[in-house]
């Protein structure tokens, strides 16, 4: 079907990264946030990320201007009315997602595909907030979205197969590697990845190893980041939500989040985005 214009709702770390990927791929993009301050932060995220690429000699200033020129920023959902695909990337709270999807249901055309970037919630449950659950799919990018190749495309039992195929095709056209899977907590990648990240937090909590040694053990094996540094990058709140969802769904004790992770989140130490998580950042 080919997508002419794509909306992104929520321009935090993930949404801004997704909007950048779309605009870099030549797609007309509409970025929507809830208020002017959030919108300016979102615009700043995309400008900073593409600006880093200019500094590193990966992108010309003209190309950066073209990419930014492809994104329309708005605080009004009505700006999404002529999008043929909208990707929601708001925080991982079911009440928020349901509100966004109920709004999209009102403003988007009848043939629009509505997608969620959720990493831990049920796509089926989110779809139930609309009058058109067959139009809803999951499209799960990884952090940092401009760099990570993997994108999970999730079809529920109700999703129209041609919508799942069209989104998979778009992901491929954007230079990413799509995998198409069913609606299950943690999908595939997080189910496997958090089977490793969860125990890393518990190992630190046990006092048997320090954080630098835990991380060095895995970078020296060849992974790009140690598990605690990676959790700080993902966001400890997101890590906790993903672990809780997988734990609920699987009932397996090994997925139970570490008390240390819970207490860091309760203190507001959410990782890089707040300047403190397992580590402290400038
Ligand atoms: N945004 C855009 N680009 C970024 C970036 C960001 N936040 N961070 C790094 N990059 C780019 C850099 O600009 C650089 O690009 P060029 O090669 O074109 O110059 C490239 O990535 C490499 O960056 P660096 O040299 O600065 O640093 P690095 O080599 O240490 O790589 C990394 C950084 C790409 C983040 C790498 O450490 C890595 O791959 N880490 C693992 C990340 C990962 O596993 N993510 C998945 C998390 S799970 C998830 O997201 C799912 C969920 O639902 C929770």
Domains (ranges, CATH) in the chain? 5-181 (3.40.50.720), 190-273 (1.10.1040.10)
Active-site residue, selected from the candidate residues 140, 241, 247, 255 = 140
Distance of alpha carbon 215 from alpha carbon 155, whole angstroms: 35
Q: For residue 30, count other CB atoms closer than 10 A to its CB.
A: 23
Strand order in the sheet with 150-155: 71-74, 28-32, 5-9, 85-88, 113-116, 136-141, 150-155, 177-181
Is 206 catalytic? The answer is no
Rounded to whole angstroms, how far apart are CA atoms 276 and 249? 30
* Model ipTM over 0.90: yes
241, 96 contact by CB (below 8 A): no
DSSP string, 154-168: EE-SSS-HHHHHHHH
| Ligand 1 pocket, residue 144 CB under 6 Å | yes
Active site residue 81: no
CA distance 50 to 67: 8
Does residue 119 have its Cβ closer than 6 Å to ligand 1? yes
Beta carbon of 147 within 6 Å of any ligand 1 atom: yes
Model pLDDT, residue 1? 60
Provide the pLDDT for residue 2. 85
Determine the distance separating the centroid of ligand 1 and the alpha carbon of 148, expressed in angstroms.
7
The predicted model scores a pTM of: 0.95
DSSP letter at 75 equals S
- The answer to whether residue 143 is catalytic is no
The response to whether residue 16 sits with its C-beta less than 6 Å from ligand 1 reads no
Q: How many CB atoms lie within 10 A of CB 165?
A: 15
The pLDDT assigned to 43 comes to 97
For the chain, list residues with pLDDT below 70: 1
Task: With CA atoms as reference, report the closest residue to 9 among 26, 24, 30.
Answer: 30
276/141 Cα distance (integer angstroms): 24
State the catalytic residue, choosing from 45, 49, 117, 119.
119
- Please identify which of the residues 88, 117, 190, 255 carries the catalytic annotation: 190
24: closest CA among 71, 89, 56? 71
Examine the residue annotation and report whether 119 is marked as an active-site residue of this protein. Answer: yes
CA of 224 from ligand 1 middle (Å) equals 9
Residue 251 CB less than 6 A away from ligand 1: no
- 235 alpha carbon to ligand 1 midpoint, in Å? 14
Other CB atoms within 10 Å distance of the CB of residue 176: 20
């Amino acid at each position: 079907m080919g997508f002419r214009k794509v909306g992104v709702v929520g321009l935090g770390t993930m949404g801004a990264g997704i909007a950048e990927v779309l605009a870099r791929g030549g797609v007309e993009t509409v970025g929507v946030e809830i208020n002017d301050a959030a919108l300016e932060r979102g615009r700043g995220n995309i400008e900073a990320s593409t600006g880093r690429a200019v500094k590193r000699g990966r992108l010309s200033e003209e190309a950066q201007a073209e990419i930014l020129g492809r994104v329309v920023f708005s605080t009004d959902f009505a700006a999404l009315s002529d999008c043929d695909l909208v990707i929601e990337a708001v925080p991982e709270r079911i009440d928020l997602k349901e509100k966004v999807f109920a709004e999209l249901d009102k403003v988007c055309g009848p043939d629009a595909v509505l997608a969620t970037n959720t990493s831990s919630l049920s796509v089926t449950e989110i779809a139930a907030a609309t009058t058109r659950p067959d139009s809803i799919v999951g499209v799960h990018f990884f952090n940092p979205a401009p760099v990570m190749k993997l994108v999970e495309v999730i079809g529920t039992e109700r999703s129209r197969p041609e919508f799942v195929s069209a989104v998979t095709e778009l992901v491929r056209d954007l230079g990413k590697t799509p995998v198409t899977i069913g609606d299950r907590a943690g999908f595939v990648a997080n189910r496997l990845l958090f089977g490793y990240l969860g125990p890393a937090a518990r190992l630190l909590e046990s006092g048997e190893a320090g954080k630098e040694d835990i991380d060095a053990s895995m970078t020296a094996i060849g992974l790009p980041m140690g598990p605690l540094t990676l959790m700080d990058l993902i966001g400890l709140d997101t890590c906790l939500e993903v672990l809780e969802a997988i734990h609920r769904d699987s009932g397996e004790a090994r997925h139970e989040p570490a008390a240390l992770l819970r207490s860091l989140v309760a203190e507001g130490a959410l990782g890089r985005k707040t300047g403190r998580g397992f580590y402290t950042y400038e």
